[in-house]
Copies of this chain bind each other. A is one copy, B any other.
């Protein structure tokens, strides 16, 4: 069902400062910048050289957003992990059928044209978990 680790999502106070740091320390390259009003974030995706995994840096659009509340409670750090799947709707059905709680019952729009859904951390060792069907997979 899960194909690989697609990305780690990192909550930060300043997107620009975090981008600068990840570029200068690791030589990573920004391949996408987006603002997602629904999720309440500005973000940058930095590509790893394997071409299929990313570091996602997330700055909240305000304090009353999921990432804003995360920062207030825990400070900067790992916010979630995303796994690539071939079919996010099918994966949601299968996972829901196994008794794991879902945040999203249906896929929604994610970064870089992906179709995504979040799973609740309570059943997954406290880890907010995202399923990611990348755009090129969805279009085939």
Q: Which residues of A contact B (CB under 8 A)?
A: 1-5, 7-8, 10-12, 18, 21-22, 24-28, 48-50, 52-53, 57, 74-81, 83, 95, 98, 100, 121, 123-127
Contacts and interface: CB of A to CB of B under 8 A. Distances in A.
Given A95-B25, A125-B10, A3 B78 contact: no
Copies of this chain, tallied across the complex = 2
Given A1-B27, A5-B48, 4 more contacts: A5-B8, A5-B53, A8-B78, A26-B83
B3 A125 contact: no
Contact of A3 (B5, B24, B49, B124): B49
B50 A4 contact: yes
B78 A21 contact: no
20 contacts: A1-B26, A2-B26, A2-B28, A2-B49, A3-B49, A3-B50, A4-B48, A5-B7, A5-B53, A8-B81, A10-B126, A18-B125, A21-B123, A25-B98, A26-B95, A57-B125, A76-B126, A77-B127, A78-B79, A78-B127
A79 to B, nearest CB: 8
A59 to B, nearest CB: 10
